Structures are given as C-alpha cells and as structure tokens.
C-alpha cells in the first residue's frame, strides 16, 4: 500500500515551472546525458527500486524505471529514459518525475540523487521512504525554482526550510500554505519570491517558534498579530523594502529571542515596552524609518548580545542605561542616525563588546577614557561626529582592536605614541581632525599587520625620514595635507599599494629621478587603483609610464600642479579609469583619443590648462560619463552635432565648456538628447544646505573617496559634493551665436544654466518656464532682444537671474522670485522699465533700442566671468 510519509511529500514539494529547455540547438542532434549523471541515476535505482516487490496497481509508474538500463549505444544515454528530462543545450539532467514509482528505503544525504546538481524539477511523491527526514543534501539542488500545490498535503509538517534557492511561491499562496500546515514550528522561506503581503492567517500559526522570510519581496503591512504568536522566538522579515512595519506594545513574558526588521519600512518610535522582551538576544532594525529617542528601558535587556539600529533617524542622547545593564552585549551599532550629546562613559562597562559603531551622528564632547576598557573590541568606529579633545592616552587598552576610525571629528593634540602598541591593528583612520605636532611615521608602522592608514587633513607634520621598517603589506596610504616637502623614499619599498594619496602637500619640483628610473617606482605599482598627487607644486611633463597604469587605475588625480606637455596616450587595450582630474596644470596639445576606450569613465576634468582641440564629440560614446569639465582651455570651433545616437553623452549631468573659443550655434541636438538632465533618480542621501540629497556614486570606487566639486552659486551656497540631483550647463565666455534653441526646455532637471558672454541673438524663449528646478540663469552680455517672458515667474526655485548688457525692452516681471532680484540683474538694457530699475513703465512699453555692434571681447569676458558668483571650481581630495 502507499505510504505518505513526511519525506515522501516533503521532497515532492520542490518542483519547477514545466518549461525545461533553455533554448534550442542549432543542429537537430541533441547531446547525450553526462556520464556521471547517468551513473548517479542507475545507482539511485539500485538503492531504492525492487521490481519484484512492486504492486503495479499501487505504483502505476514503476514500469518507467524499466527503461533505466546500463547498456551501451543509444540505451547508454539517460536522456530518453522515462521520467528523465535533459536540457537540449547541455545534456544536463534538469527534470526527474518519479512519483508512484515504488521507491523504498531510508534516504539520506549520501543518496546519489543529490549529485544531480542541475535539477530544476523533482517529484518523488507517493513513494515509501520509511519516514526519513528531509536530507540536508537537498541544499545541493540549487536550481530548483518552483513550489507546487502538493506542499499543502504535508499537514503534519513541523519544519519547512526552502531558503536560498531562488524559489517562487505563486500557487499555493503563502496564505494557503499557512492555513494548511497548521503544525508548523519553523518556517524559513528566505529568498523565495512572493511579491505579496504576509497574510492575516499568520495569526493562526500558534505553533510557530521561528518565522524567517528574508528578501521575499513582501509588501503591504506586517500583521501586528505576528508579534503576538505565543511561542515565537525568532522573527526575521529583513530585506523586504516594501514591507511596512509598526511595532506594537510588547507584553511581559514574550518569548522573542531574535527580532530582525532591517531594510523594511519599519517606522515610528521604538516603544519603551521593548524593555519587556526579557529573552531578547538579537535586535536588528537597521536602515529603516525609525524616529524619536532610544528608550532607556532597553537597558533592561540583560540577555541582549546584538543591537543594530543604524541608518535611521533616531535623535536625542544615547541612554547611559545601555552601558549599565547590557553587560553581555557583543555588538552595538547606532551609526548613521542623528544622535547627540556625549558618548556615555557607561559604555566602557560593556567589556564583552567586539563591535562598536557610533559613526555618522552628531555626538560631541570628549571621548571618554572609559572606552579604552573595551579590551575585546575588534572594530571601533566613531567617525563623522563632533568629538573634541584629545585621543585618550590609555588607547593602548584596546588590545584587540583591528580597525579604529576616528575620522571627521574635531579632535586635537598630538597623535598618542601609545597607538604603536596596538599590535593587531590593520586599519587606522584619523583623517580630517585638528591633530597637531609631529607624527612619527615609524611609530605607526611598527606592526606588520597594518594594511590601511588614513592620516590626511590634520595640522601635524609627518616625519618620514630614516624609516627602516618594512611596509610591504600596506594597501591604502592616505597622507594628504601632512606638510610633506618631498616624496617619501619609503615609497620605493611598496609593491602592494592600491591607493596612494599625497595631495595637498608642499611637494615641489619635478618627480624625482629615483621615482622615474627604469623601471620607475610609480610604474611598478601594478595593483594601483587610486593615485592622487593633487595640489602640490610638481613640474615637468607627466611620466609617460602613466599610460601603462590605465589598465588598473580607477582614479587619477593630479590637479593643481604645474605639469606641462601633452597628456600621455593611454595603453592600448583595457582602460579601467572612472575618474580623471588633470585640471589646473599647463597641459597642451589635443586630447588623447584613447580616452574613448575608457567605457567606465564617469568624471573627466581637464579645466584650466592649455589644451587646444575641437569639441570632443567622440567622448559622447562613453556610456557612463556624468561630469565633463573643459573650462579655460583653447578648445575651438563649432560644437558639431552628434554623428550618431551613440555620441550624445547619455548620462551627462554636468558640463562646463566656459572660457574657450567655441563658436557657431548652440548645440540643439545635444541639448535635446541629454536624457540624464531630464530625469533624476535618488536612492541615498547626504546633507547639503540643510537638505538631504543624493551624491553621485562612482561605481566600483570607494565610498570614502571625496570627489568634491565646489560651486559658488549665487554668492551663497557651496556644493561640497558632486550631487546626483545637480545638473549644470555652463557654455559662458565663448563665441556662440544664433538663438537659444527650444530644445533646452526638455532639460527639466537643470539647476544651473550659464550662457553669458556670448553673441546669442533673438528673444528669451518662454519655454524656459519648463525648467522648474532652475536655481540660477545667466544670460548676460549677449545680443538678446524683446521682452523678459512673464512666464519665467513660474520658476519659483530661481534665486539668481542676470540679463545684464543685452537689448531687452518692456516691463520687468513683478511676481514671485522676480521681486527679489536687484538692479544689477538688468543694467545695460535701456529699453527695460519697472522695479527694481528707477525707470518707470508708461502705458505703452518702451520700444527696443537699436542694436549696437556689441562685439564680445574675450579677454574682458574672461575677467568678468571670474567674478561670477557661481563659477565651478573643482577640488578633488581625500
């Protein structure tokens, strides 16, 4: 008779969509199955099938196994066997239907079945596996992708774990699953795609002790009843970004030991009743939408080992009670919130902490020396706060610390010599503080474990002479603004460097010969990803060997030096450059055409040089270029329209061609095709001008590297980051003529537009009213005629407007933003009238004056343009 044992149905529940083939072969002949899979099937048959003891009435499919024979020739191919399905392209066994096949015996993880790792469909229903448990080796079948309705027959099933297989749950639905499997104690469907809400039927799953639904595309709202399941100890619904969660008031006696809601839309405040969860061991609510304060009642969670609340909007102070009562805590992460006040000295009592992250908050005052008692902490992150005072001298107490980050604070005083006693340190970061005195580099390099060192932007000088220790394992070395006057000679000993920053020092003269000897030191850095020598006083031609580094370099930053000559041609073949900044030098000649092969290039700044070339339309084929700055060079000629759809700069957001010799009409087809200026997509935020905005992300580059661009906009605002939301077009101080093309109206994300100091004629298009995000519009010193369109009053974001020295006439609009612009915005237009000008308008508006021969004087315009309040000045630093 048939025996519906738990394993019998448990294994049958893993099925896939009935479409097996991944494609068709170009020839009619299909490949044979793989020999190892054929042997695995025969071994499985021998182990579980006995034809003589089968009842054909109860097991009608047993006859199928008769075709499974170990013969040569056509019979040696397992693909034609009954119940077996092979992939038409590869010959791999992807389907196995053995339901009702009279298979018997206990099945374990050593069964040959689990060597069929390409299986997508498996049906072992209605066999007799003698109540075996589901073997753990079923996890080997990573390509199973669908769950059938037969799972509903497992009414006695206590534990169901289908995680990590990219399965899909459509029919049955999760609701049907919960209503049928009422005896479930553990359910893990992590990575199983549902795209549905968690049903209210969860309230009836009273036997559940563990519910894990990580990254299941859950949406809607998490039923509050989930928290009230009487036996529930583990609840994990993290990584469901469209799932709304509101925490209830927790009752005393709740059994929860692990609660994970990270990366959901968990909002509201942390309830003080969290203190009632006396059994809680883990609490993860990171990257959510929490607000309010951390309740002091959390100090009652005496069993808590892990507390992660990072990436929220929590405010107020860190409750001192956390340090008083959570003596078993091993991980504490409160980073990326808005916490203020001091770091409670009581945290120094958390002597079992191995991980402490309080970075990216607004914490102030001095670092309590009590934190130096955390002798077991491996990772200590206090960066991006407002901490003051000195680094505590007892820092040697952090005997187990591996990574220590105190960057971006207001720390002062000398670098404690006791840091040299941290023998396990692999990363030390103190950049962007006010540390002073002289830092002894050899003191920091005593231990061979150090891999990453960030010392940039402090007030100390770095002593690097007579350094005899080996630095062969250093990967990242940041020494920007360390008062260096020459290249440290220890660089000759480094062959593992991936990131070197010597920017903003006083290194002068030519690159020394010991760095350029064949083979030059700088060219031996065959692992180098970031090379930053910006803002020094280096002279001479760029080392030709830089060409050889283009296959590894992500970032090349040499701006603000005195390099001359041509830019070296790039090495033939691979180019991994994502950012190039050579601005502020004396480079000449045309652009190297090899840049067109740098398909990952996102940022290119060659401003303030002597480069003579036509507009590099060939750069338009770069699919990822976001920032292009060529201002103050000798570019010339017309901006010819793109030759094809592959040359229109698809992701360009910032372009500055000012102070060159471009001529001809404005590039209407380019303006019409810059799609990235038409739409903005934001994901993450940073602070800018008291608002939260998204910085441009350079794919593959380190998040800590500062690709900053300072734009003095309207004399008020500084942009200290290249912002994803920011779009800029600056074509000022050239020889562009013709009219302003209507195609510009489609650039609805444009924030700054400067067409000043050209020879543009015609009227101001009323279609500019579409640019509703425009903050600055400069059309001054052109040949514009007609009225200022009243439709421009719809530009409610406009804070800077300048039409100085044109031939405009009529009344000045008197609504909204136009009531804020001063007299200087309109001077040199004798036909204009109305406030803020003293000339009043009559009933008949003044007629336009005759055009004068207003010839653009380049040198005058270049002087004036330097006085504009919102010119782009690029600074790249660490």
Place of tokens 């939260």: 692
In a domain, 538, yes or no: no
Query: pLDDT class for 529, splitting at 50, 70, 90?
Result: confident
Measured distance CA(218)–CA(197) in Å, rounded: 5
Phi and psi at 260, nearest 5°, equal -130, 115
Judging by DSSP bridges, how do beta strands 691-693 and 686-688 pair with one another?
A: antiparallel
Residue percentage of the chain with pLDDT more than 70: 80
Query: pLDDT class for 471, splitting at 50, 70, 90?
Result: low
782 with 850, same domain: the answer is yes
Contact (CB, 8 A) for 75 and 82: no
Measured distance CA(164)–CA(159) in Å, rounded: 16
Distances (CA, A) of 529 to 460, 475, 497, 557, 719: 27, 10, 8, 11, 26
How do residues 475-505 score in pLDDT, each as one tens digit?
888 988 888 888 877 777 777 788 889 888 9
Contact (CB, 8 A) for 295 and 273: no
Domain extent at residue 189? 153-229
Contact (CB, 8 A) for 818 and 812: yes
The confidence score (pLDDT) of residue 156 equals 72
Measured distance CA(618)–CA(593) in Å, rounded: 8
Q: Which residue has the higher pLDDT, 325 or 462?
A: 462
Output the average pLDDT for the chain: 81
Query: pLDDT class for 669, splitting at 50, 70, 90?
Result: confident
Query: pLDDT class for 22, splitting at 50, 70, 90?
Result: very low
191 with 119, same domain: the answer is no
In a domain, 844, yes or no: yes
The arithmetic mean of pLDDT across residues 25-38, rounded, is 73
The arithmetic mean of pLDDT across residues 709-728, rounded, is 53
The confidence score (pLDDT) of residue 151 equals 63
Contact (CB, 8 A) for 689 and 854: no
Contact (CB, 8 A) for 126 and 4: yes
In a domain, 524, yes or no: no
Phi and psi at 817, nearest 5°, equal -60, -30
In a domain, 688, yes or no: yes
Q: Which of 388, 404, 423 is the last residue of a domain?
A: 388
132 with 157, same domain: the answer is no
Written as one string, the DSSP assignment of 192-245 is: -B--SPPPGGGGG-TT-SEEE-TTS--EEE--GGGGG-TT--EEE--S-TEEEE
The arithmetic mean of pLDDT across residues 526-550, rounded, is 82
Measured distance CA(511)–CA(542) in Å, rounded: 9
117 with 174, same domain: the answer is no
Q: Which residue has the higher pLDDT, 51 or 826?
A: 826
Distances (CA, A) of 637 to 499, 613, 616, 619, 669: 39, 9, 11, 16, 17
What's the total number of domains in the chain? 4
657 with 782, same domain: the answer is yes
The arithmetic mean of pLDDT across residues 866-876, rounded, is 34
Q: Which of 346, 365, 388 is the last residue of a domain?
A: 388
In a domain, 635, yes or no: no
Contact (CB, 8 A) for 147 and 167: yes
Report CA 628 to chain centroid distance, whole Å.
21
Residue percentage of the chain with pLDDT more than 90: 42
How do residues 747-780 score in pLDDT, each as one tens digit?
999 999 999 999 999 999 999 999 999 999 999 9
In a domain, 766, yes or no: yes
Query: pLDDT class for 664, splitting at 50, 70, 90?
Result: very high
Q: Please, which residues have CB within 8 angstroms of residue 698's CB and are 6 or more apart in sequence?
A: 578, 579, 602, 603, 707
70 with 117, same domain: the answer is yes
665 with 814, same domain: the answer is yes
pLDDT tops 70 at residue 29: no
pLDDT tops 90 at residue 212: yes
In a domain, 254, yes or no: yes
Contact (CB, 8 A) for 714 and 869: yes
Q: Which of 338, 364, 388 is the last residue of a domain?
A: 388
Query: pLDDT class for 75, splitting at 50, 70, 90?
Result: low
Q: Which residue has the higher pLDDT, 312 or 27?
A: 312
Query: pLDDT class for 152, splitting at 50, 70, 90?
Result: low
How do residues 373-432 score in pLDDT, each as one tens digit?
999 999 999 999 999 999 998 888 898 999 999 999 999 999 888 888 888 899 999 999
The confidence score (pLDDT) of residue 544 equals 76
Interior angle at CA 250, CA 247 and CA 251, nearest 5: 160
The confidence score (pLDDT) of residue 850 equals 43
280 with 363, same domain: the answer is yes
Q: Which residue has the higher pLDDT, 369 or 442?
A: 369
Measured distance CA(418)–CA(856) in Å, rounded: 64
Query: pLDDT class for 543, splitting at 50, 70, 90?
Result: confident
CATH of the domain at 830: 3.80.10.10
The confidence score (pLDDT) of residue 844 equals 56
679 with 792, same domain: the answer is yes
Query: pLDDT class for 590, splitting at 50, 70, 90?
Result: very high
115 with 22, same domain: the answer is yes
CATH of the domain at 106: 3.80.10
Interior angle at CA 720, CA 716 and CA 721, nearest 5: 130
The confidence score (pLDDT) of residue 450 equals 86
The confidence score (pLDDT) of residue 417 equals 83
178 with 94, same domain: the answer is no
779 with 846, same domain: the answer is yes
How do residues 795-849 score in pLDDT, each as one tens digit?
999 999 999 999 999 999 988 889 899 999 999 999 999 999 888 998 655 444 4
In a domain, 22, yes or no: yes
């Amino acid at each position: 008779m048939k025996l519906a044992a738990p394993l019998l149905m448990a294994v049958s529940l893993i099925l896939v969509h009935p479409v097996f083939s991944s494609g068709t072969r170009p020839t009619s002949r299909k490949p044979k199955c793989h020999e190892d899979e054929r042997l695995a099937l025969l071994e499985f048959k021998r182990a579980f099938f006995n034809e003589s003891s089968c009842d054909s009435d109860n097991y009608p499919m047993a006859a199928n196994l008769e075709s499974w024979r170990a013969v040569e020739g056509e019979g040696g191919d397992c693909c034609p066997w009954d119940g077996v399905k092979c992939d038409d392209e590869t010959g791999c066994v992807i389907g196995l239907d053995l339901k009702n096949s009279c298979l018997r015996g206990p099945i374990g993880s050593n069964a040959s079945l689990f060597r069929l790792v390409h299986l997508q469909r498996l049906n072992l229903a209605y066999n007799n596996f003698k109540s075996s448990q589901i073997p753990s080796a079923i996890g080997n079948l990573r390509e199973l992708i669908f769950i059938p309705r037969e799972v509903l027959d497992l009414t006695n099933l206590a534990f169901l774990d289908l995680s990590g297989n990219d399965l899909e749950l459509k029919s049955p639905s999760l609701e049907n699953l919960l209503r049928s499997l009422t005896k479930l104690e553990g359910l893990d469907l992590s990575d199983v795609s549902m795209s549905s809400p968690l049903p209210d039927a969860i309230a009836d799953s009273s036997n559940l002790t563990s519910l894990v639904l990580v990254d299941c595309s859950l949406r809607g709202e998490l039923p509050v009843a989930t928290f009230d399941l009487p036996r529930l100890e583990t609840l994990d619904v993290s990584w469901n970004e469209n799932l709304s969660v509101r925490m209830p008031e927790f009752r005393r006696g709740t059994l929860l030991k692990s609660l994970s809601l990270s990366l959901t839309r968990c909002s509201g405040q942390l309830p003080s009743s969290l203190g009632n969860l006396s059994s809680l061991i883990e609490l993860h609510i990171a990257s959510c939408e929490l607000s309010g304060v951390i309740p002091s009642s959390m100090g009652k969670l005496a069993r808590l080992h892990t507390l992660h609340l990072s990436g929220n909007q929590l405010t107020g102070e860190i409750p001192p009670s956390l340090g008083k009562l959570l003596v078993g805590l091993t991980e504490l992460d409160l980073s990326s919130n808005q916490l203020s006040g001091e770091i409670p000295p009581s945290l120094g009592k958390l002597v079992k902490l191995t991980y402490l992250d309080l970075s990216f908050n607004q914490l102030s005052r001095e670092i309590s020396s009590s934190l130096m008692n955390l002798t077991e902490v491996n990772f200590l992150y206090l960066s991006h706060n407002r901490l003051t005072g000195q680094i505590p001298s007892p820092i040697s107490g952090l005997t187990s610390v591996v990574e220590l980050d105190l960057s971006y604070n207001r720390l002062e005083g000398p670098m404690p010599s006791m840091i040299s006693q941290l023998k396990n340190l692999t990363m030390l970061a103190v950049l962007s503080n006010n540390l002073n005195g002289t830092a002894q580099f050899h003191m920091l390099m005593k231990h061979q474990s150090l891999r990453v060192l960030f010392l940039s932007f402090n007030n100390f000088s770095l002593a690097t002479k007579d350094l005899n220790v080996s630095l062969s394992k250093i990967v990242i070395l940041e020494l920007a603004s360390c008062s260096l006057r020459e290249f440290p000679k220890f660089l000759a000993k480094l062959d593992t460097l991936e990131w070197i920053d010597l920017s903003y020092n006083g290194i002068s003269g030519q690159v020394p010969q010991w760095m350029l000897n064949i083979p030059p030191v700088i060219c031996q850095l065959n692992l180098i990803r970031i090379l930053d020598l910006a803002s020094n006083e280096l002279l001479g031609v760029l080392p030709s060997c830089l060409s050889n580094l283009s296959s590894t370099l992500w970032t090349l930053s040499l701006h603000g030096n005195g390099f001359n000559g041509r830019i070296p041609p790039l090495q033939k073949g691979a180019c991994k450059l994502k950012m190039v900044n050579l601005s502020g030098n004396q480079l000449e000649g045309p652009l190297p055409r090899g840049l067109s092969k740098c398909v990952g290039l996102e940022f290119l700044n060659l401003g303030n040089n002597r480069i003579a070339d036509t507009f590099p339309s060939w750069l338009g084929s770069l699919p990822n270029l976001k920032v292009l700055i060529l201002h103050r060079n000798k570019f010339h000629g017309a901006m010819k329209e793109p030759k094809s759809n592959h040359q229109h700069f698809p992701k360009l957001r910032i372009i500055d061609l000012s102070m060159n010799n471009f001529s001809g009409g404005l590039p209407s087809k380019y303006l019409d095709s810059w799609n990235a200026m038409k739409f903005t997509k934001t994901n993450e935020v940073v602070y800018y001008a008291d608002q939260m905005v998204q910085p441009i992300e350079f794919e593959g580059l380190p998040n800590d590297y500062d690709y900053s661009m300072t734009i003095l906009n309207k004399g008020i605002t500084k942009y200290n980051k290249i912002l994803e939301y920011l779009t800029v077009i600056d074509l000022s101080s050239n020889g562009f003529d013709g009219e302003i093309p209507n195609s510009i109206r489609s650039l609805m994300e444009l924030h700054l537009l400067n067409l000043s100091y050209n020879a543009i004629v015609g009227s101001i298009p009323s279609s500019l009213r579409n640019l509703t995000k425009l903050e600055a519009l400069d059309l001054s010193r052109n040949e514009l005629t007609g009225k200022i369109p009243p439709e421009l009053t719809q530009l409610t974001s406009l804070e800077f407007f300048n039409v100085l020295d044109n031939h405009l006439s009529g009344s000045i609009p008197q609504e909204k933003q136009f009531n804020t612009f001063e007299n200087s915005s309109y001077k040199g237009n004798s036909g204009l009238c109305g406030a803020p000008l003293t000339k009043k308008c009559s009933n008949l508006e003044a007629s336009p004056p005759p055009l004068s021969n207003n010839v653009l004087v380049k040198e005058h315009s270049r002087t004036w343009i330097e006085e504009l309040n919102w010119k782009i000045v690029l600074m790249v630093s660490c």
